[in-house]
Amino acid sequence: MAGMRMTVIGTGYLGATHAACMAELGHEVLGIDVDQTKIDALKAGKVPFFEPGLPEVLERNLANGRLCFTTDYKEAAEFANVHFIGVGTPQQRGSYAADTTYVEAAVDSLVPHLQGDHVIFGKSTVPVGTAQALQERANKLISASASLEIAWNPEFLREGYAVNDTITPDRIVLGVRSTNSTNSTETRAEEIAREVYATPLADGTPFIVTDLQTAELVKVSANAFLATKISFINAVSEVCEIVGADVTQLADAIGHDERIGRKFLGAGLGFGGGCLPKDIRAFMARAGELGADQALTFLREVDAINMRRRERVVDLSREILGSLIGRRITVLGAAFKPNSDDVRDSPALAVAGQLNLAGASVRVYDPEAMDNARRVFPTLDYADSLDDALADAELVILATEWDEFRQLDPEHAGQLVESKTLIDARNVLPVPAWHSAGWELHALGRSL
């Protein structure tokens, strides 16, 4: 089947990945962003963030001519009749709510240029009701000779696995406006989505077609559930710490129950990143606006449990060292999770920053996130290598579970540090090997 033509508006993690992967599926894609430097980088085959596998997909599809980039909305309007919006919806300053101004700006910039019949698929995570509001906004901007349907097609990609998650998703969700006419049950958006995703659909990927508000809620509910699962095990972890139980064995044991499942029961420093923390807050804010604030007050607790884990690591460091002032602490990890250079709301960086503010001399090392970390926390000391990071440390904290740290040789590490004391804040190290190399280990939710 011949590929389709489409544009992808916004070329951050979500948009750049979506654009490159749609080209990989055989479509002709034009990526648009207001940020000229981002567009220049992508045109030159450079992905402006760390995402395994994406540079290869980008280069391949630039070379075969299926993928182009521009900052010009008029060009976008003329290039295709199918448009995806993948711009950011960050947390608003001074509020829990999501900031939808970038999504609105994308509609405002594109719609006046449209001629003929168009469909916009929103991919960004938005408060329920946004798609409907955008349709009304667009109806006022569109020229009399053009038509536009806005549908919602939430994205579930995980950083670090973004290419795979986009090309072979778990499920495809599509929210469309309700069809009033009795003889047509399929909107144009649904028909087009079936063509866009023909390859994964042919492989049997579940396709859920629903109304706009359900599609919007699916996305935030999925992330709220994942956050709740992590905070659940971290709350149990707090109790384990008091009674000397082992949260990792407990998670294995309950995880065998298929109804529970072991995934996302990794107890430790908790969740961060650009999605989970922001999405649970935006969900609470939206529920409040809708008069259903009580329904989601438990998410406040999910957030609080998560934040307490960071404090616990700082407190534990103080307990171990007696005082933090002037002590040399090495934090391994700055990214919010491995295989990413993203430091947005990173638990690792939050701990490093708090220890530093409490007077410790903190040295940080991360395989990929050093530049981003430096920008957020310029006052921390950044090591050039893992060995350099470990040199003379009085306490080591494993805060992001990169393979490089999991596979660290405890004998070798022991020769570099001043004191063989380590907090495994992600519960990932092989404890017996570290013990036999003479290390004193501490962890969250279990005594070692």
In sequence order, the 6+-apart residues with CB closer than 8 A to the CB of 324 are 317, 318, 355, 358, 359, 360
Shortest distance, CB of residue 165 to ligand UDX, whole angstroms?
Answer: 7
Smallest gap from residue 275 Cβ to ligand UDX (A): 3
CB of 274 to ligand UDX, least distance (A): 6
Contacts (CB under 6 A) with ligand UDX, residues 94-113 = none
∠ at Cα 85 (2, 155), nearest 5°? 85
State the minimum distance, in angstroms, from the CB of residue 162 to ligand UDX: 8
The binder of ligand UDX chosen from 19, 103, 224, 276 (CB under 6 A): 276
**Using the rule CB under 6 A, is 265 a contact of ligand UDX?**
yes
Count of residues making up the chain: 448
Contact call for residue 337 and ligand UDX (CB under 6 A): yes
Segment interacting with ligand UDX, rule: CB under 6 A, options 152-160, 180-188, 315-323, 410-418? 152-160
| Binding status of residue 367 toward ligand UDX by CB under 6 A | no
Binding region for ligand UDX (CB under 6 A) out of 94-102, 126-134, 173-181, 262-270: 262-270
Contact flag: residue 223 with ligand UDX (CB under 6 A): yes
Q: What is the nearest approach in angstroms of ligand UDX to the Cβ of residue 75?
A: 29
Site membership for ligand UDX, residue 275 (CB under 6 A): yes
Binding status of residue 158 toward ligand UDX by CB under 6 A: yes
Is residue 275 flagged as an active site residue? yes
User: Which C-beta is closer to ligand UDX: that of 421 or that of 427?
Assistant: 427
Interaction pattern, residues 226-255, with ligand UDX; x per rule: CB under 6 A: x---x-------------------------
Amino acid at 162: A
Q: Looking at 21, 68, 240, 275, which residue is catalytic?
A: 275
Residues that bind ligand UDX (CB under 6 A): 155-159, 223, 226, 230, 264-266, 268, 270-273, 275-276, 336-337
Which residues are designated catalytic?
275
